[in-house]
């Protein structure tokens, strides 16, 4: 576990983790809380799960704030960031993890489907980071980590809107890394198959088949993705920016 404070030392500023009521987002929130950050647990439709994550953090001696916000909406994204900074005396980390995945072909896809995928998977990262900038600039250093996807690299025959949005997230990551250097780094993490609710149906139907195609021969656990995010969010990662790091057990190598 990456620690950035002594066990009895001072707490660190705030960290926003969008879409953190479950899966990878929840694991990231718990990692950052263990490192001393006050963490905002963000949810849209799973309040019970969000409060469970916050309860686990607080039971371990950490600090958590639970905020309902649709980060694809500019006003709600701004409120999420501002409430986090206010609650924890500042903001140092933004993890753009919220995602919307939908299996649909181009023939079946509606304009609303497309717009929702772009809003949640791409625009939300821009909106949250933009809202966070004044607070990040108040810190000696800041971190933005965008959660991408294997589909940004491979494409998808059942979710072109999702793959397109996640591909756009890579371009956003590189652009913001150039713009916000040197004190604020911006990186992306691109997970492969991970044991989350989003992949539950596929894994239930054909986990053995999927695992057989992965050189590591297994599905990732959320905490394995969170471990990398915690490093990228740490002071030690100050010379790493503009990168998209693939965590997929070797299924795709760039």
Cα 122 off chain centre by: 12
In whole angstroms, give the CA distance from residue 28 to residue 25: 5
Q: What are the residues whose beta carbons fall under 8 Å from the beta carbon of 159, sequence distance 6 or more?
A: 101, 102, 103, 104, 117, 151
DSSP E strand boundaries for the chain: 12-17, 37-43, 63-68, 91-96, 142-147, 184-191, 244-247
Among 37, 162, 193, 239, the active-site one is 162
Q: What's the rounded Cα separation, in Å, for the pair 104 and 90?
A: 41
Overall residue count recorded for the chain in this entry? 254
Contact partners, residue 112, CB within 8 Å, separation at least 6: none
Instruction: Determine whether 37 is an active site residue.
Output: no
Find the angle CA(36)-CA(186)-CA(120) to the nearest 5 degrees. Answer: 90
- CA–CA separation, 121 and 117 (whole Å): 6
**Dihedral over alpha carbons 235, 96, 94, 247 (to 10 degrees):** -10
- As annotated, the active-site residues are 162
């Amino acid at each position: 576990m990456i620690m950035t404070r002594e066990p009895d030392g001072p707490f660190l500023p705030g960290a926003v983790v969008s879409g953190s009521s479950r899966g990878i987002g929840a694991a990231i929130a718990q990692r950052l809380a263990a490192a001393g950050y006050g963490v905002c647990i963000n949810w849209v439709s799973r309040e019970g799960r969000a409060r469970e994550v916050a309860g686990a953090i607080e039971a371990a001696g950490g600090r958590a704030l639970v905020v309902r916000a649709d980060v694809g909406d500019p006003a709600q994204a701004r409120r999420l960031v501002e409430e986090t900074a206010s609650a924890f005396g500042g903001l140092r980390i933004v993890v753009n993890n919220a995602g919307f995945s939908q299996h649909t072909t181009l023939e079946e896809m509606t304009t609303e489907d497309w717009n929702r995928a772009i809003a949640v998977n791409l625009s939300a990262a821009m909106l949250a980071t933009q809202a966070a900038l004044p607070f990040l600039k108040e810190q000696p250093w800041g971190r933005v980590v965008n959660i991408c996807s294997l589909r940004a690299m491979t494409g998808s025959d059942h979710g072109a809107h999702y793959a397109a949005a996640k591909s756009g997230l890579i371009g956003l990551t590189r652009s913001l890394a150039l713009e916000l250097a040197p004190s604020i780094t911006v990186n992306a993490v691109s997970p492969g198959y991970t044991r989350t609710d989003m992949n539950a149906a596929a894994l239930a139907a054909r986990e053995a088949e999927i695992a057989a195609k992965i050189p590591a021969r297994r599905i990732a656990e959320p905490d394995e993705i969170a471990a990398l995010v915690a490093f990228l969010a740490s002071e030690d990662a100050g010379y790493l920016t503009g990168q998209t790091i693939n965590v997929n057990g070797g299924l795709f190598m760039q």
